[in-house]
Every structure is written in structure tokens, then in C-alpha cells.
Structure 1
Amino acid sequence: MDSKRLRQDEQNSPETRARGTMRIWQWARWAALVVAIGWAVSWLLNLLQGEGGRDLWWPLASTVIWTGLTVHGFRTYRRIRTTTLPAITGRPSA
């Protein structure tokens, strides 16, 4: 019973949660960057092909949204790696 409780405590520790969040953002930030670049290229190609007005609002809006998500992902990953984990573990950031 004690070993089960110990495993549950380890799973709920702030370090475990921070490392889990880091793992998620480690790949999600790059995926968001790829999507943002894809939408930006789509918007530019449509603009160069002469489309205008209402047809271009969605690629542009999506580019802005995905760029924001990408920036947030990179900032979150860096904050966890350099601030949160060292504060929790007492070890210098690697």
C-alpha cells in the first residue's frame, strides 16, 4: 500500500507536472511553427495569384493565431526549463 501511495505522490509532484508540460511543448511548439508557416505560405500564394478581399481573411487570421501559439510554446518551454524546474529541483538548468 505504501509503494502505491508513493507512486501516486511522485506522479502528482510539481517536478513531474513540469516535466510533462515540457514534453508536451517540446513537440507542440514545432508543430505550431510548421502550421503557422504553412498558413503564411498559403496566404502569400493566394495573394500572389490575385485573390483578395474575403478569400484571404482566414489564412491571415490563422497565421496570426498559430504564430501566437508558437511564440507561447517557445516561451513556456524556456520558462519551465530555466526557471520552474531549477526552482523545484534545486539543480541548475541544463
Structure 2
Amino acid sequence: MMATVYRLDNYKTTPMSVCASVHLGLAENRAHLSVIGRWINQYGKVLELFESRLQDHRNSCRRAEISNDRCHKILKRANADELIWLRDKIARKRRRRRRHH
């Protein structure tokens, strides 16, 4: 059986033979079914992790979108207190970014 596996952890295809030596259809190869089962289980976990990271990314994008909308509304209204709040928020973000780099 020739197959390739799309690996979500590094976005590359890997020959399935590298993941596990798999031959199907013959009674003497039943032992390989446990290998396939383990591989499917592991692949399922990788998919769950990928889905979780994707959801985190979506949530982060949504939070940024909400924050940007709020900033635009503040700028349109030009309320002095809110403009001060916005200035301070931007300054905090800049300080946080500098600490991480």
C-alpha cells in the first residue's frame, strides 16, 4: 500500500511507510492493524490539537476585531476620556511587545 500522510504539525507530506510499515488484505498481516489503529489514534490527536489551535486563532482574531471596532467608534466620537483610555491601551500593548522581544 503506497500512501502519503499530510502532517499538520509541519505542513509536509510524509510517506506512510515512514510512519508505519502497513500492508493490508492478508491474514498474516493482522498485527499491522494494531499499528494502523495506533496511527489513526495519534493522527486523531494531531487533528484535535490543530482544531484547538485554529479555534484559539479564530478567537484571537475576533477579539482583535472587536477591539478595533471599539477603537474606531471612540475615534469617531472623539470623547476625551475614551481617547485617553485608547492612548494608554496602545502604550500598554507597546510595552508588552517590547518585553517579549
Query: TM-score, length-normalised on structure 2?
Result: 0.39
Instruction: Answer with 1 or 2: which has the greater Rg.
Output: 2
More strand by share: 2
